[in-house]
Amino acid sequence: MNDELAIDVRGMTKRFGNRTVVNHIDLQVHTGEICGFLGPNGSGKTTFIRMLCGLLRAEAGSGTVLGYDVITESDAIKLRAGYMTQKFSFYEDLSIFENLDFVARMYSIEDRREAVAESVERLGLGERKDQLAGELSGGWKQRLALAACMIHRPKLLLLDEPTAGVDPQARRDFWEQIHQLAGQGLTFLIATHYMDEAERCHRLAFILNGNLLAQGTVAEILEQTHLTTWSVSGSKLLELAEQLRGQPGTQQAVAFGNTLHVSGDDSDALERIIAPFRTEHYEWRRIDAGLEDVFIHLMERSKERESS
């Protein structure tokens, strides 16, 4: 990772009719960086990614992607960025090699065979290159999709929910590959809603209803929210959660396994709220807020602002 920006955009906006799907988003991603783009389904992640790679035109905004103007030089960006969609979209009656060869033809790659062989080798697909795509498991389909979006040797990879429907081992293997590629200088913007994947990223950006709520490293985002979190164990936690929710100073009371996480951004106010419940029935322990705590907090705070 270096100081050069692979993505440097400001005020990116997209509307469909009267609905604003992406609302004046600023985002900077350094070369060689893995940036996690977090948000629930329908938050605007896919639309924003498609704007960056030139598949959708912004109503407003400016900046560069790989040094090219994001509005006027989208064709140049398409040739230098790889985009991996949410859905598997290859020919299931063709082999891995044949699918990759087809993609290479689409890009009019001169050294097509060499590029396909390089992509097969890089993603560990050699032993399966003659297997039909329709016979692949979710994890191997994912590898094929990643190999395809790298066939033209891009400098930036835009991955949209790449591990949806993939088993835990395949997800772990995928992220190992991502970090190896980033170490070679590739830049990633990865849309996800998995908190464990977010923690694997160098930097994060949280989006909700088209609005960017926070961005930075995990440590920076945790610090920005000033969130105090208590873990409580005991009996009748669901009843306790109902009693705590909605009280001024309590942003969330959410079940985490056999415990309840109670959080707020005013530690003194939160102390006063939980004081009556410090009984022999419950064990209270102050903990560091996690990304999931912060994500829920940001969403709840955004809803409060919209309703006020």
| Final residue of a structural domain among 192, 216, 240 | 216
How far is 257 from 23, CA to CA, in rounded Å?
Answer: 36
Q: Rounded to an integer, what is the distance from CA 74 to the centroid of its chain?
A: 22
How far is 20 from 7, CA to CA, in rounded Å?
Answer: 22
Supply φ then ψ for residue 226, to 5 degrees.
Answer: 50, 40
The range of the structural domain enclosing residue 248 comes to 222-307
How far is 231 from 229, CA to CA, in rounded Å?
Answer: 7
Over range 150-163, report the average pLDDT.
91
Q: Is the dihedral of CA 253, 256, 261, 264 positive or negative?
A: negative
Provide CB contacts within 8 A for 223, sequence distance 6+.
none
Over range 45-70, report the average pLDDT.
94
Residue 164 binned pLDDT confidence (cut-offs 50, 70, 90): confident
Same domain as 100, residue 9: yes
Q: What is the pLDDT of residues 88-99, one digit of tens each?
A: 778 899 999 999
Same domain as 128, residue 52: yes
Same domain as 174, residue 30: yes
CATH number at residue 25: 3.40.50.300
Q: How far is CA 79 from CA 54, 153, 301, in A?
A: 10, 9, 40
How far is 250 from 12, CA to CA, in rounded Å?
Answer: 33
Same domain as 228, residue 206: no
| Final residue of a structural domain among 201, 216, 231 | 216
CB 152 within 8 A of CB 115: yes
| Final residue of a structural domain among 216, 233, 266 | 216
Over range 157-171, report the average pLDDT.
86
Looking at every residue in the chain, the average pLDDT score rounds to 90
Over range 288-303, report the average pLDDT.
83
Number of domains the chain contains: 2
3-state SS assignment for residue 72: coil
Same domain as 234, residue 191: no
Q: What is the pLDDT of residues 198-251, one digit of tens each?
A: 899 999 999 999 999 999 998 999 888 889 999 999 988 999 999 998 788 888
CB 263 within 8 A of CB 227: yes
Same domain as 172, residue 87: yes
How far is 179 from 54, CA to CA, in rounded Å?
Answer: 26
H or E element at residue 69: strand 68-69
Over range 115-137, report the average pLDDT.
89
Same domain as 261, residue 182: no
Same domain as 183, residue 98: yes
Provide CB contacts within 8 A for 134, sequence distance 6+.
92, 93
Q: Which pLDDT value is given to residue 306?
A: 67
How far is 180 from 185, CA to CA, in rounded Å?
Answer: 9
Same domain as 55, residue 24: yes
